[in-house]
């Protein structure tokens, strides 16, 4: 707000405010430039993490009695988020290491890994 | 194509070699299960093959740790049993009638052949096919691995070493290719390792250490994320599936390193991502902001974690893991762990015995891994360094060192042969071409190079000698003097110098290295045949009359199974528990699982007490027979009298009236005339030496080397029922309580009788 009134003492603080705004703006701008398919994957990751947090909150409220159920629920969310991030890494065109990998193969690997993960989850759910 | 066929043929030969070098015990003795632990695994496999897998998962064993019993399904590592069980089922489904015992005896050699193939794959990922074949051949023969996987040694390590090497191979493959498919396979292989052996904690701590090393040395890449992050999640879930691990997979300190590195990896990945999005100036701003906030949060989390961990007395680690980190821990706090012979630290000669020539080749391999350093080779070096530390703590963990030593030696030998054969080829071609016709443009051996740089085991310094000047070489090439590469492509502008030795030196070095390999092979075959093939259940000795066989153990167990009731309980020291339940089929009080220290201490106290007190303890446990092992007549050194002090220590740890100094005369353990009265009156002495004086008239104990102290005595509460041919196993029966009370006690009792 006031660039003049604080005087000589707190020269840095208003600069930090403006800096933070500038930071967030540039982050938004750079992120908006990413392709749509990557944004969809990011949305999926975000959804999985929120679900995991909801489960942790629920556990905090009712206690962790069937601990295996809690563990399998939370780890399935985190697990599928991690796998989605791996898929994003492999599909991202800016990534030079994976330019020979066809995106269909990356997706097939993603599905396979998720299958194994959820098989284990169903077994462990109890 | 020819190279591929040759490679496959060599691998088949290596497999045959690994299998056949482990057959000495079957040829010299018979196809029998060895030692102690394999008998338990064999019994469990028998149960599995008879009753099926659901019964096995839910099995509660009431024939051991009487009266407590043992939940087998929840306390055994099922990998080995399930593997052998499925091999047996598959083979019988094909109508090949192999018995369970045969399958169990030969599981270990088969899996060691497969383990050497896995070593080939792992080393190929790091350094190429030549090094892979070399390492596989070395692993097939290394004595340390042979000692735990001869035919008949049906123990967890037989399949666990294969699982270990294979898991590492899949991890390195994922790291090199970045494929999620291999990451899935890696998690499944880790699951097999968790099923097989308690040593899986080594994997789940080594891989995070390597990830941390890569991050710290600036080698972070997205392949690292793909290699590690799915493994942590999937691996933890799969580990929690195995009943014996259960929730320990998330609650014990052994796994915390993996979670910590998981978080660190995510932070680093996020930082790199943001760095890619922003300009450098903005990135710097973001960093300062994040660091201040992040440090505060980190501090809070770490404080909570430390408080949680510090509240448990062992800081969350199990006893065995703590004794790995602090080698003196077990001897101070847990005598049971300290008393197991496998848990003692190794001596220096045992390094040479177990890995022989590899001890010299390993440092050369480490150097070879640094030229050039890749993710895979840094992993090898880290694996070796941690394995060397742990092998120094417990002799049993020399087994984990063996694959690492083999891989690095394979790399060293392969690099050495590479340089030497290249020198010979170059020198010979130069000799026959008769002139410096090197153009530097197409010759496969590269340009002038005469820098002498050997990576053999003898010489580690880089000597520079003057290169023959060539007009085409620009000054730019002088900068590449230090590079030693194995690539053979030579471009016109950029010439790579390859190292070349003089012809005589390379021929002599090659012959010397082959001789070194010859010494190694001779030693391995000798170790396999003489040192590691003894089944311990059958002993032999050579005398003038020929070979003498001591089959006393099986004689005693057979007597027990034929002459006692099915429900009779047998008490002995915990060493013989597994064998008694498997071969004699009788209920025992304590066995090799050693999970209940108090129960073992009870048996130890009984063995250390006088006859009446011991009778009372055994009677309270419903024991009918007591079994002791005695080697004094034939000179068998691992008998119960030599182990007796451990019984006193463990018993004294729980029951303070047993004091070790009572059994020692001037700090020395003696059983001759100088022994203390407590020692001469205790049950173990009496049961071992009862009627011993009748053998030679003097009672001379061949193991201790002197005559015993108390020679003529009678047993009041026990009666001898069986002694084997060489007096090695002696079985006693508890005398029942007397029906009538005689003498002094009768007068006291008659006072209280009603008068008619």
Q: How far is CA B288 from the centre of its chain?
A: 48
Confidence check: pLDDT of B675 > 70: yes
d(CA A7, CA B683): 93
Q: What chain A residue is nearest to B289 in terms of C-alpha separation?
A: A20
Confidence check: pLDDT of B614 > 60: yes
d(CA B469, CA B448): 8
Model confidence pLDDT, tens digit, residues B75-108 = 899 999 999 999 999 999 999 999 999 999 999 9
- A 10 A CB-CB count for B474 gives 11
Put simply, the answer to whether B241 touches A89 (Cβ < 8 Å) is: no
- What pLDDT shows up at residue A49? 94
Give every residue of chain A whose pLDDT is below 50, as ranges: 1-14
* Structure token pair of residue A50: 């929120």
Q: Is the peptide bond before B372 cis (omega within 30 degrees of 0)?
A: yes
Q: How confident is the model at residue B748 (pLDDT cuts 50, 70, 90)?
A: low
Q: For residue B2, give how far its alpha carbon lies from the nearest alpha carbon of chain A (Å).
A: 29
Q: Write out the residues of chain B at the interface with chain A, using a CB-CB cutoff of 8 A.
A: 178-181, 183-184, 187-188, 221-223, 225-226, 229-230, 233-234, 236-238, 240-241, 247, 250, 269, 274, 276-279, 282, 285-286, 289
- What pLDDT shows up at residue B709? 85
A112 contact B CB<8A: yes
Put simply, the answer to whether B240 touches A124 (Cβ < 8 Å) is: yes
Q: Sign of the C-alpha dihedral, residues B654, B656, B658, B660?
A: positive
d(CA B251, CA B245): 10
Residue from the list A90, A106, A120 with its beta carbon closest to the beta carbon of B237: A120
User: Which residues does chain A have within 8 Å of residue B277's beta carbon, measured at their own beta carbons?
Assistant: 27, 30-31
Put simply, the answer to whether A113 touches B184 (Cβ < 8 Å) is: yes
How far, CA to CA in Å, does B251 sit from each of A67, A71, A95, B317? 11, 11, 37, 10
How long, in residues, is chain B?
756
Confidence check: pLDDT of B524 > 90: yes
DSSP label at B661? G
Put simply, the answer to whether A26 touches B237 (Cβ < 8 Å) is: no
DSSP string of B485-541? -------SSSPPP-----HHHHHHHHHHHHHHHHHHHHHHHHIIIIIS---SSSEEE
Q: How confident is the model at residue B404 (pLDDT cuts 50, 70, 90)?
A: very high
Q: Which of B460-474, B623-637, B667-681 has the highest mean pLDDT?
A: B623-637
Q: How confident is the model at residue B312 (pLDDT cuts 50, 70, 90)?
A: low
- Picking from B184-188, B305-309, B602-606, B693-697, which range would have the lowest pLDDT averaged per residue? B305-309
- What pLDDT shows up at residue A7? 45
Cβ proximity of B726 and B634 under 8 Å: yes
B277 DSSP β-pair partners: none
d(CA B623, CA B385): 49
- Picking from B191-195, B259-263, B342-346, B491-495, which range would have the lowest pLDDT averaged per residue? B491-495
- What pLDDT shows up at residue B490? 38
Helices B180-196 & B79-93 angle (0-180, nearest 10):
100
- Picking from A27-31, B362-366, B424-428, B573-577, which range would have the lowest pLDDT averaged per residue? A27-31
* Structure token pair of residue B533: 């093939």
d(CA B591, CA B118): 35
- What pLDDT shows up at residue B323? 65
A23 contact B CB<8A: yes
Residue from the list B234, B276, B285 with its beta carbon closest to the beta carbon of A117: B234
* Structure token pair of residue B190: 């880790």
- A 10 A CB-CB count for B20 gives 15
Put simply, the answer to whether A68 touches B247 (Cβ < 8 Å) is: yes
Confidence check: pLDDT of B271 > 90: no
At B101, which helix (H) or strand (E)? helix B100-127
Put simply, the answer to whether B237 touches A72 (Cβ < 8 Å) is: yes
Q: Is the peptide bond before B67 cis (omega within 30 degrees of 0)?
A: yes
Q: What chain A residue is nearest to B266 in terms of C-alpha separation?
A: A82
- What pLDDT shows up at residue B480? 39
Nearest Cα to B549, choosing from B341, B724, B704?
B724
Q: How confident is the model at residue B753 (pLDDT cuts 50, 70, 90)?
A: low
- What pLDDT shows up at residue B446? 38
Q: What chain A residue is nearest to B250 in terms of C-alpha separation?
A: A71
User: Which residues does chain B have within 8 Å of residue A97's beta carbon, measured at their own beta carbons?
Assistant: 178, 221-223
Paired sense of beta strands B539-543 and B625-629, if any: unpaired
- What pLDDT shows up at residue B102? 93
Put simply, the answer to whether A27 touches B250 (Cβ < 8 Å) is: no
- What pLDDT shows up at residue B301? 77
Put simply, the answer to whether B188 touches A78 (Cβ < 8 Å) is: no
Q: Both ends of chain B: CA-CA distance in Å? A: 109
- What pLDDT shows up at residue B321? 66
Burial class (CB in 10 A: 0-12, 13-18, 19+), B733: middle
- What pLDDT shows up at residue B427? 84
- A 10 A CB-CB count for B428 gives 12
Paired sense of beta strands B718-723 and B729-734, if any: antiparallel
Q: Which residue has the higher pLDDT, B340 or B541?
A: B541
Q: Sign of the C-alpha dihedral, residues B146, B149, B150, B153?
A: positive
- What pLDDT shows up at residue B752? 52
DSSP string of B289-304? HHHHHHHHHHHHHHHH
Cβ proximity of B156 and B196 under 8 Å: yes
Burial class (CB in 10 A: 0-12, 13-18, 19+), B122: buried
Q: Which of A74, A86, A114, A125 to mutate to test the interface with B (most CBs of B within 10 A)?
A: A86
- E-strand ranges in B11-118 read 60-61, 70-71
Q: What chain B residue is nearest to A115 in terms of C-alpha separation?
A: B184
Share of chain B above pLDDT 90, in %: 47
- What pLDDT shows up at residue B457? 34
* Structure token pair of residue B635: 């000179």
Please, what is the average pLDDT of chain B? 84
Strand, helix or coil for residue B722: strand
φ, ψ of residue B256 in degrees (nearest 5): -65, -30
User: Which residues does chain A have within 8 Å of residue B223's beta carbon, measured at their own beta carbons?
Assistant: 97
How far, CA to CA in Å, does B341 sit from each of A73, B338, B394, B644? 43, 8, 9, 14
Residue from the list B180, B234, B237 with its beta carbon closest to the beta carbon of A109: B180
Q: How far is CA B172 from the centre of its chain?
A: 22
Report the complex ipTM. Answer: 0.86
Model confidence pLDDT, tens digit, residues B707-735 = 888 888 899 899 999 999 999 999 999 99
Please, what is the average pLDDT of chain A? 84
Cβ proximity of B146 and B27 under 8 Å: no
Query: CA angle, B404 as apex, B400 and B407 as ends, to 5°?
Result: 145
Put simply, the answer to whether A97 touches B274 (Cβ < 8 Å) is: no
Put simply, the answer to whether A110 touches B180 (Cβ < 8 Å) is: yes
Q: For residue B203, give how far its alpha carbon lies from the nearest alpha carbon of chain A (Å).
A: 20
CB contacts < 8 A (A, B):
94
Strand, helix or coil for residue A32: helix
* Structure token pair of residue A125: 């759910």
Q: Could you confirm whether domain B548-734 is CATH 3.40.50.2000?
A: no
Put simply, the answer to whether B222 touches A83 (Cβ < 8 Å) is: no
Put simply, the answer to whether A120 touches B178 (Cβ < 8 Å) is: no
Confidence check: pLDDT of B502 > 60: yes
d(CA B345, CA B22): 26
Cβ proximity of B41 and B81 under 8 Å: yes
User: Which residues does chain A have within 8 Å of residue B269's beta carbon, measured at their own beta carbons?
Assistant: 85
How long, in residues, is chain A?
126
How far, CA to CA in Å, does A97 sit from each of A111, B115, B124, B126, B223? 21, 31, 21, 19, 9
Q: How far is CA B144 from the centre of its chain?
A: 9
Q: How confident is the model at residue B449 (pLDDT cuts 50, 70, 90)?
A: very low
Nearest Cα to B227, choosing from B189, B268, B195, B181?
B181
Q: How far is CA B240 from the centre of its chain?
A: 23
Put simply, the answer to whether B250 touches A71 (Cβ < 8 Å) is: yes
B730 DSSP β-pair partners: B628, B723
Mean pLDDT of B13-28: 93
Q: Where are the domains of chain B?
A: 164-316, 548-734
- What pLDDT shows up at residue B697? 84
Residue reference for tokens 């902001």: B289
Q: Which of B194, B223, B237, B276 to mutate to test the interface with A (most CBs of A within 10 A)?
A: B237
Mean pLDDT of B135-153: 93
Q: Which of A18, A24, A26 to mutate to test the interface with B (most CBs of B within 10 A)?
A: A26
Q: Which residue has the higher pLDDT, B280 or B267?
A: B267
Strand, helix or coil for residue B587: strand
φ, ψ of residue B700 in degrees (nearest 5): -85, 120
Residue reference for tokens 């002094």: B744
User: Which residues does chain A have within 8 Å of residue B186's beta carbon, measured at their own beta carbons?
Assistant: none
A110 contact B CB<8A: yes
Put simply, the answer to whether B180 touches A83 (Cβ < 8 Å) is: yes
Put simply, the answer to whether B234 touches A113 (Cβ < 8 Å) is: yes
Put simply, the answer to whether B282 touches A22 (Cβ < 8 Å) is: yes
DSSP string of B362-414? HHHHHHHHTTT--HHHHHHHHHHHHHHHHHHH-GGGHHHHHHHHHHHHHHHHH
Mean pLDDT of B617-623: 92
Q: Which of B170, B175, B180, B262 to mutate to test the interface with A (most CBs of A within 10 A)?
A: B180
Q: For residue B531, give how far its alpha carbon lies from the nearest alpha carbon of chain A (Å).
A: 44
Share of chain B above pLDDT 70, in %: 85
Residue from the list A23, A117, A121 with its beta carbon closest to the beta carbon of B285: A23
Residue from the list A30, A87, A89 with its beta carbon closest to the beta carbon of B278: A30
């Amino acid at each position: 707000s006031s660039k003049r009134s604080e005087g000589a003492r707190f020269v840095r603080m208003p600069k930090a405010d403006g800096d933070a705004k500038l930071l967030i703006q540039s982050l938004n701008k750079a992120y908006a430039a990413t392709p749509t398919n990557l944004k969809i994957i990011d949305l999926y990751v975000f959804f999985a993490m929120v679900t995991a947090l909801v489960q942790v909150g629920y556990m905090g409220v009712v206690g962790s009695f069937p601990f295996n159920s809690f563990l399998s629920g939370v780890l399935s969310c985190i697990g599928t988020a991690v796998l989605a991030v791996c898929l994003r890494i492999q599909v991202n065109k800016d990534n030079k290491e994976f330019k020979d990998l066809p995106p269909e193969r990356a997706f097939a690997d993603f599905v396979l890994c998720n299958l194994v993960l959820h098989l284990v989850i169903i077994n462990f759910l109890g | 194509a020819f190279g591929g066929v040759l490679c496959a043929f060599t691998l088949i030969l290596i497999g045959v070699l690994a299998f056949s070098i482990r057959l000495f015990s079957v040829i010299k003795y018979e196809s029998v299960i060895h030692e102690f632990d394999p008998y338990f695994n064999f019994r469990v496999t028998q149960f599995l093959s008879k009753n099926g897998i659901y019964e096995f998962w839910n099995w509660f064993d009431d024939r051991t740790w009487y009266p407590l019993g043992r939940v087998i399904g929840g306390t055994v590592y099922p990998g080995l049993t399930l593997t052998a069980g499925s091999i047996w089922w598959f083979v019988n489904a094909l109508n090949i009638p192999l018995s369970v015992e045969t399958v169990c005896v030969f599981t270990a050699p088969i899996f060691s052949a497969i383990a050497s193939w896995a070593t080939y794959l792992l080393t190929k990922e790091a350094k190429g096919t030549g090094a892979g074949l070399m390492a596989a051949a070395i692993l097939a023969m290394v004595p340390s691995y042979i000692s735990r996987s001869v035919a008949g040694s049906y123990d967890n390590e037989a399949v666990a070493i294969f699982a270990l090497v294979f898991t590492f191979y899949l991890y390195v493959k994922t790291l090199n290719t970045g494929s999620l498919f291999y990451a899935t396979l890696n998690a499944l292989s880790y699951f097999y390792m968790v099923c097989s052996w308690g040593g899986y904690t080594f994997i789940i701590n080594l891989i995070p250490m390597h990830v941390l090393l890569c991050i710290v040395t600036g080698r972070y890449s997205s392949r690292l994320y793909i290699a590690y992050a799915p493994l942590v999640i999937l691996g933890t879930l799969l580990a929690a599936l195995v009943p014996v691990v259960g929730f320990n997979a998330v609650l014990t300190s052994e796994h915390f390193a993996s979670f910590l590195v998981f978080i660190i990896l995510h932070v680093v990945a996020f930082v790199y991502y943001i760095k890619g999005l922003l300009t450098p100036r903005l990135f710097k701003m973001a960093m300062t902001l994040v660091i201040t906030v992040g440090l505060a949060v980190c501090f809070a989390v770490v404080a909570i974690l430390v408080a949680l961990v510090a509240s448990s007395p062992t800081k969350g680690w199990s006893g065995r893991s703590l004794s790995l980190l602090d080698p003196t821990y077990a001897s101070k706090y847990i005598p049971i762990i300290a008393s197991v012979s496998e848990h003692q630290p190794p001596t220096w000669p045992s390094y040479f015995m177990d890995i022989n020539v590899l001890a010299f080749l390993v440092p050369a391999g480490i150097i070879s891994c640094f030229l050039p350093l890749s993710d895979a080779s840094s992993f090898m070096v880290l694996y070796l360094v941690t394995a060397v530390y742990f092998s120094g703590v417990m002799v049993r963990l020399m087994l984990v060192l063996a694959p690492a030593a083999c891989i690095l030696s394979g790399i060293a030998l392969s690099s050495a042969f590479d340089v030497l054969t290249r020198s010979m080829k170059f020198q010979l071609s130069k000799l026959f071409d008769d002139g410096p016709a090197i153009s530097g443009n197409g010759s496969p051996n590269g340009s002038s190079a005469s820098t002498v740089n050997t990576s053999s085991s003898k010489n580690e310094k880089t000597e520079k000698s003057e290169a023959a000047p060539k007009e085409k070489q620009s000054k730019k090439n002088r900068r590449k003097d230090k590079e030693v590469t194995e690539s053979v492509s030579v471009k016109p502008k950029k010439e790579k110098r390859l190292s070349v030795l003089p012809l005589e030196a390379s021929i002599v070095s090659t012959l010397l290295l082959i001789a070194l390999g010859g010494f190694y092979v001779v030693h391995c075959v000798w170790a396999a045949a003489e040192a590691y093939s003894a089944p311990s259940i059958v002993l032999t000795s050579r005398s003038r009359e020929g070979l003498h066989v001591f089959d006393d153990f099986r004689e005693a167990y057979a007597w027990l199974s034929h002459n006692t009731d099915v429900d009779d309980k047998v008490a002995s020291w915990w060493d013989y528990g597994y064998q008694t339940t498997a071969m004699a089929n009788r209920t025992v009080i304590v066995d090799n699982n050693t999970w209940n220290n108090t129960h073992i201490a009870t048996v130890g106290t009984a063995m250390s007490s006088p006859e009446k007190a011991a009778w009372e303890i055994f009677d309270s446990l419903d024991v009918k027979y007591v079994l002791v092992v005695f080697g004094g007549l034939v000179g068998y050194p691992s008998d119960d009298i030599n182990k007796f002090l451990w019984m006193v220590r463990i018993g004294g740890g729980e029951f303070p009236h047993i004091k070790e100094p009572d059994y020692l005369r001037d700090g020395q353990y003696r059983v001759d005339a100088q022994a203390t009265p407590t020692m001469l009156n205790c049950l173990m002495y009496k049961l071992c030496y009862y009627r011993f004086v009748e053998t030679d008239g003097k009672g001379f104990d061949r193991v201790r080397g002197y005559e015993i102290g108390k020679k003529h005595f009678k047993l009041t509460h026990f009666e001898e029922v069986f002694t084997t041919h060489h007096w090695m196993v002696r079985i006693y029966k508890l005398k029942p309580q007397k029906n009538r009370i005689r003498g002094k006690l009768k007068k006291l009792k008659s006072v209280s009788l009603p008068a008619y």
